[in-house]
């Protein structure tokens, strides 16, 4: 089995170029307000962990690197870069990683690979194809890398990220080409930006201001609603079984209902830019709250089987308090996708204390 190393340790040992943004970052999150927590006691300890630490942030360059399979990065001597392992550098060693080594060994014995001679950037994230993770876990890495490499002309992404990458980079960096990873790609030079997050609950403090600056020109500040309810009418899971009652409570308090799945990214930005209060079912569309500059309250509706750690952390970076209301999941065997029933009396109590 070939050796494994972090990107930073490998490049330090081999003398390659390194650009440092921050040696480490730490912060203390605002405590979350947990409602109906009695039905989700398994998350209590996790929400007590207020301190967050993120390691070295920067950019390293590899010569003659090869990317195989789902985005595994191998150096010219066959070292697997641990940062490129799905789930992060401390992920367990599953069968697919062993298969990646076998694929790389076969590739070295052949000549079947796309070759890229131009300097390129490899972007990986947790949850390929997820809008929220793309915004918070991948795009900030591109923005920071482009500052250090203004001549950058190509970004390589997981195929499931291709549409998101093309749509967002066309908005903030139209001159940069976006290319999907094939089964194997050899690079004469490949830049790797350090992970800007430790999903799901640690993100670089620079992420929100960087994203706001990058997309500032797309916020038209039209008559966007001040109170938003973000539904999931356009998806097939994690929906409210008592949606009608929930919407009745929100509508009479002046909320506007939105579903973001069919919106363009610019329309999503414009919808959220003027929001003071955002209430929504746990899901990627809630990440759009980062585009609101007047946000005062963030209320997330969660099934009892799934914590909202990502949004707890995002709320801290937005400098707003967050209320998490748990509803009983219908299917305990489907923790991330189960529909759930929200206690209306608790929702009304939270709304009356907020609105």
pLDDT tens, position by position, 233-288:
988 899 999 999 999 999 999 999 999 988 999 999 999 999 999 999 999 999 99
**The predicted structure's pLDDT at residue 129:** 86
**The predicted structure's pLDDT at residue 116:** 65
Q: Which residue is it, tokens 């203390």?
A: 28
pLDDT tens, position by position, 144-188:
999 999 888 899 998 889 999 999 999 999 999 999 987 778 888
pLDDT category of residue 111 using cuts at 50, 70 and 90? very low
Q: Which residues contact 184 (CB under 8 A, 6 or more apart)?
A: 66, 67, 68, 69, 103, 107, 112, 113, 114
pLDDT category of residue 107 using cuts at 50, 70 and 90? low
**The predicted structure's pLDDT at residue 297:** 96
Within a 10 A sphere around the Cβ of 18, how many other Cβ atoms?
A: 15
Q: Are 192 and 83 in contact (CB under 8 A)?
A: yes
Higher pLDDT, 56 or 86: 56
Domains delineated in the chain: 4-28+54-205 (no CATH), 217-354 (3.40.50)
Name the least confident of 6-20, 21-35, 183-197, 246-260.
183-197
* Neighbour-count burial of 119, counting CB atoms closer than 10 A to its CB (0-12 exposed, 13-18 middle, 19+ buried): middle
**The predicted structure's pLDDT at residue 65:** 87
Which pair of tokens denotes residue 244? 């009608």
Q: Which of 331, 350, 335, 151 is nearest to 249 (CA)?
A: 350
pLDDT tens, position by position, 319-344:
999 999 999 999 999 999 999 999 99
Q: Which residues contact 150 (CB under 8 A, 6 or more apart)?
A: none
Q: Which residue is it, tokens 């066309």?
A: 170
pTM of the model: 0.92
Q: Reduce the DSSP state of residue 44 to 3 states and report it.
A: helix
Within a 10 A sphere around the Cβ of 343, how many other Cβ atoms?
A: 17
**Cα dihedral angle (264, 269, 271, 277), rounded to 10 degrees?**
140
| Chain mean position to CA 292 | 18
Q: Are 309 and 201 in contact (CB under 8 A)?
A: yes
H or E element, residue 155: strand 154-157
Distance (Å, rounded) from C-alpha 274 to C-alpha 228?
Answer: 10
């Amino acid at each position: 089995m070939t050796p494994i190393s972090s990107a930073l340790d490998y490049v330090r040992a081999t003398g390659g170029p390194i650009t440092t943004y921050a040696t480490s970052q730490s912060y203390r999150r605002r405590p979350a307000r947990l409602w109906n927590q009695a039905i989700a006691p398994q998350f209590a300890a996790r929400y007590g962990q207020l301190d967050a630490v993120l390691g070295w942030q920067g950019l390293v360059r590899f010569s003659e690197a090869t990317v195989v399979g789902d985005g595994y990065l191998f150096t010219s001597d066959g070292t697997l870069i641990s940062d490129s392992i799905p789930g992060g550098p401390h992920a367990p060693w599953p069968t697919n990683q062993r298969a990646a080594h076998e694929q790389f060994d076969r590739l070295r014995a052949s000549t079947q690979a796309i070759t890229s001679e131009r300097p390129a950037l490899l972007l990986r994230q947790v949850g390929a194809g997820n809008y929220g993770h793309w915004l918070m876990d991948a795009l900030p890495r591109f923005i920071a890398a482009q500052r250090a490499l203004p001549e950058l002309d190509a970004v390589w992404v997981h195929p499931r990220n291709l549409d998101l990458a093309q749509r967002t980079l066309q908005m903030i960096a139209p001159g940069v080409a976006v290319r999907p990873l094939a089964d194997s790609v050899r690079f004469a030079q490949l830049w790797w930006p350090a992970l800007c997050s430790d999903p799901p609950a640690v993100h670089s403090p620079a992420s929100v201001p960087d994203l706001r600056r990058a997309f500032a020109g797309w916020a038209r500040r039209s008559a966007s609603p001040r109170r938003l309810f973000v539904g999931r009418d356009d998806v097939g899971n994690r929906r409210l079984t008592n949606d009608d009652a929930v919407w009745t409570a929100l509508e009479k308090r002046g909320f506007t209902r939105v579903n973001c799945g069919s919106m363009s990214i610019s329309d999503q930005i414009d919808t959220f830019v003027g929001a003071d209060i955002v209430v929504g079912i746990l899901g990627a569309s809630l990440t759009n709250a980062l585009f609101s500059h007047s946000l005062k309250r963030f209320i997330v509706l969660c099934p009892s089987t799934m914590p909202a750690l990502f949004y707890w952390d995002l709320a801290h970076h937005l400098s707003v308090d967050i209320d998490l209301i748990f509803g009983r999941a219908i299917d305990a065997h489907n923790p991330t996708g189960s529909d759930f029933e929200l206690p209306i009396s608790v929702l009304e109590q939270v709304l009356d204390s907020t609105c």
